[in-house]
Chains A and B, each alone.
Chain A
Amino acid sequence: MIAVRHHRGARALAGALLFLDDARGAAMGEVVELTQPGQPARRGQVIDAGDGVTVIQILEDPQGLSPARVTITLTGAVAEAPVGRDLLGRTLTGVGAPLDGLPAPIGEALRPVWGAPMNPARRHPPGDVIETGVSAIDGLNTLVRGQKLPVFSGAGLPALELAAQIVEHARAGGGEPFAVVFAAIGITARETRLFVERFRDSPAMARSVLYLNETRDPTIEQLLTPRYALAQAEFLAFEAGMHVLVVMADVAHYCETLRQVAAARDEVPGRRGYPGYMYTDLATLFERAGVLQGRAGSLTQLPILTMPDDDITHPIPDLTGYITEGQVVLSRELHAQGVFPPIDVLPSLSRLMNAGIGAGKTAREHRRWADQLYASYARGREARMMATIVGEAGLSDPDRRALGFATRFERELVGQGATRRTIADTIAAGWRLLESLPRDDLERLDDDTWARRPGAAAGEGA
């Protein structure tokens, strides 16, 4: 790329797109500075470089810009962010400017925010558990380091509360260095407060970096915020050797912005108006999770997204589910019943769970324990539905027992409230629930597993 060049005036300006004639040497993704007398400086980036016309996407509010008076500076560089351990404890804007009254962070290095794909042959398969302290996750949908596990939420459901609780309670295991990077993408001031104030003064803040793009900030910046966060997270994970948990909220806002930009460019819309490349675009965020061979750290993602209309087939959750390694789904019914966290374990799944559990990791019988809890709960939920049609009396005996089990499962195991449970506590609580059913109802448990449950009376199950 060549050096800095200045252009006075643009050919056209349409929304957040600026069209420039004869931009010699313009490069794909090149950072552009826009200045105009009486206006704040703005930034943009080249999204279509051409000998005829070059298209620049303005990354801030374009209001007040005039194509005749603006000066366009092509900087000769692609977007880079300062990253480093000195950013821990800081609160920054969505593009890395200080929000906490301290000077701008210097960082240990500058990194391109777009990143580069990990070489798949250099990845190490994830297999070490992160204890979140939440039973429905640790017990039934275990999160492992290097995984991307989104929370599928609905409008008004406490996804951020759950994320905040996890951020406070999570442990990487083995006392290894742990850090949190939070990317707020178009969330409200109320939500920010909820999340930020909760640990501004807690010990968790010292190991966290917050990138905040709120509703009132330029929406277009939302395309950069998660990438600033991920560039920082990659540095902490793969160069500073830390286990990093990246929380992004709300991915739905990110997708709306992507759609807006596509519409502004007159692109052929895909499903429900979202661009056809949304899968790939989201993948360039989510696939930055992982573990690398021979490097100490890991990058784990917990993206939060609100399902429009609670519809899991909507393109936003759908494409996300096609990229991530499972999902944690929140339930409106459970929330209405006061269950916190309102996690519906039936549609939830951690695809990497098996790699993280078992003897030497969590508990030897963890898999079968989880399978049995899941099966009994699923049967109970089905029975609950059937009972609404045929009445409880129309149920078979095992179905009636499963129905009672399901209710206790929701209240006691899932609905733990704000407390932190160790994985051992979670497993013990699960066994207590299972023991309330007759042995014959527990078909997923072989005799050996049953006999080895903690608290099994000596000689039983022989």
Chain B
Amino acid sequence: MTSATTTTTATPGAVLTRVTGTLAEARPLRDAGLYELVRVGAHGLLGEIIRFTGDAAVLQIYEDTTGLALGAPVVATGAPLTVALGPGLLGAILDGVGRPLRELAAASGDFVAPGAAAPTLDPARRWRFEPRAAVGDQVAAGDLLGVVEEQPGFEHRVLVPPGAGGEVVELRGGDVTVDEPVGRLGDGTVVRLAQRWPLRQPRPVAERLPADRPLVTGQRVFDLLFPLAEGGTIAVPGGFGTGKTVIEHGLARHAAADVVVFVGCGERGNEMAEVVQEFPRLVDPRSGRPVMERTVLIVNTSNMPVVAREASVYLGVSIAEYYRDMGYRVAVMVDSLSRWAEALRDIAARLQEMPGEEGYPTHLASRLGQLYERAGRARVHGTPARTGAVSLVCAVSPPGGDFAEPVTQASLRVAGGLWALDPALAQKRQFPAVDWATSYSLYVDATASWLTERAGVPWAELRARVLGLLQRDAELREIAGLLGHEALQDRDRATIEVARMVREHLLGQSAFDPNDASSSVEKTGCMAQLAVATLDAAEAALDAGATIDELELVAVRRAFAALRTGPGDELPARAAAVEAAIAALHRRPAGGAP
């Protein structure tokens, strides 16, 4: 009965004395530790100790508890919830507690059975380990010990784990599994390709650095107006159907990151199925390799156990930090952080904790703040010296689409930017449905010079002109709505027409059009400049005495739309066509009007 490995301390006789939903109680269980993992019942369901009262431990269970009976055995494992970090994460599909879903299916079929188990990293797979340090070297945490080609062209750097160091006593290359020793350090640390890390604990860095350049998203509305910085954080709140998932998926496909961690937290299975089918076929233009090879998918759908939602977000961030420590730029998408917060609420309610606002536990804001703090750009530990970044973009699902609710509000206090999605725009099929009056980014200044240099256009100035145009347009349309179209001057009508072009074609972007789904910085800059030039040309013509009906704005708009949906290599030709249309904006009919 007592399985006595070094890491398992069985508490003989601990049994289940209560079970309700995701919460359970076991006794006697005093000698285990807080947040220690337990195995419950004959199937060994995964649980975690979250409180002690008297001789009982209160457990949250990561799996479906239906059928779990009083008196079932409970075994403490001696360790907190950890994830195995090592080669094989890229391309993996994990559930909220790090079990690989494909392997689970092979073991337990098409439906997830409670108690099913499979290690995060394939224990049988062999990797070619090439040492980059020599016996006798003095090493400290973060120093490079060797490399493994995790995916074609992707170097997985095996580092001295946090807290370890000393002289390299042994180190050998060869084809090894993630668990086999490849060396030993002076402090007794056995070097393996994989290490375990407690999910909820941030991995240390040497120095946090300020944002200095954008993480190009490929979405014009963001790159132009509300940029994301490398190491930045953005909250994306929006009611249902406003386009959060499309944005998050778009980032996962197109964002200029080395590694992408996508956490599908309490959302739809079909959405994840689409990603699982598409990503292996989609080629990342920067590496020429399938997008899936740089992606880690973490999937805990809305009908999967609630407690695992809470863990899934930490799992994602821990994996991201692990690659950051190697010196990579990692982007994490969470869809949706509200489901994570609801899991906190669910657990707190079952513990009968005093509820705060809307039933959320009072520690919601601090937990959320700690999570966002795990993002950032940093100089990481170790040699060779390197920087890495974890960027974090979290969808938020406010009830009724109303932002005055705890999760949105707590996010706004800590995020570096807000991409506010508006159901009214979504209903008009203006996608991405970003409300430019409410959205903001604190990374505008830090990213402008990089963007200006890359695109060869004055980014900050164009941004200001476009925002100004949108604002003026909103005022004018309000007037027209009250007084009728006739109340507008020609100049105002021109503003409205150009603004319409900007909204539809510059800021509007179809996720389903292969040429439009992602926009290069060059294309975004070019389109912004042409839009502003259109407005200038129209105003100049009107100033020179033309009337609005004489302006060929439809032709400009057609050419502009064609630029938007044209293939990347035709950008110069199509831009020239727009320029030509702008030049011909006011062509008086021969003979002249009276």
Contacts and interface: CB of A to CB of B under 8 A. Distances in A.
A121 B399 contact: no
Contacts of A267: 349
Nearest to B93: A121
B270 A126 contact: yes
A325 B270 CA distance: 9
B593 interface: no
Nearest to A287: B303
A30 B66 CA distance: 8
Interface stretch (B101-109, B139-147, B202-210, B254-262): B101-109
Contacts of B111: 115-119
Given A51-B70, A122-B110, A378 B428 contact: yes
Interface stretch (A95-103, A192-200, A209-217, A277-285): A277-285
B302 interface: yes
> What's the dominant secondary structure at chain A's contact region?
mixed
A166 interface: no
B20 A28 contact: yes
Interface stretch (A34-42, A83-91, A387-395): A387-395
A127 to B, nearest CB: 9
Given A28-B19, A49-B20, A323-B302, A119 B268 contact: no
Interface residues of B, number: 69
Contacts of B342: 276-277, 279-280
Given A147-B270, A271-B399, A318-B400, A347 B484 contact: no
A50 to B, nearest CB: 4
Interface in B107-161: 109-113
Interface in A348-366: 349, 351-352, 354-355
A290 B301 CA distance: 13
B482 to A, nearest CB: 7
A114 B114 CA distance: 13
A28 B45 CA distance: 14
B402 A125 contact: no
B318 interface: no
Nearest to A321: B240
Interface in A438-455: 440, 443
Query: Interface centre among A114, A121, A276, A354, by most B CB within 10 Å?
Result: A121
Given A28-B19, A276-B349, A121 B299 contact: yes
Interface string B325-359: 00000000000000100100110010000010011
A121 B355 contact: no
Dominant SS among interface residues on chain B: mixed
A49 B67 contact: no
Contacts of B482: 389-390
A124 interface: yes
B486 A394 contact: yes
A120 B67 contact: no
Contact of B19 (A49, A346, A374, A378): A49
A283 B267 CA distance: 9
A301 B29 CA distance: 45
Nearest to B273: A123
A367 interface: yes
Given A27-B68, A51-B70, A125-B273, A276 B346 contact: yes
A326 interface: yes
Contact of B427 (A2, A346, A355): A346
Contact of A117 (B17, B303, B483): B303
Interface of B: 17-21, 25, 64-71, 93, 101-102, 104-105, 109-113, 239-241, 264, 266, 268-270, 272-274, 276-277, 299, 301-304, 306, 339, 342, 345-346, 349, 355, 358-359, 397, 399-402, 427-429, 481-486, 512, 554, 557, 561
5 contacts: A1-B69, A26-B70, A124-B273, A315-B400, A443-B557
Given A1-B69, A47-B20, A313-B239, 16 more contacts: A1-B67, A27-B67, A29-B66, A54-B70, A118-B112, A121-B101, A121-B102, A123-B273, A146-B270, A268-B355, A279-B339, A290-B270, A314-B400, A319-B399, A322-B397, A323-B302
7 smallest CB-CB distances across A and B, nearest first, come from: A394-B484, A283-B302, A313-B400, A27-B69, A390-B484, A123-B273, A121-B101
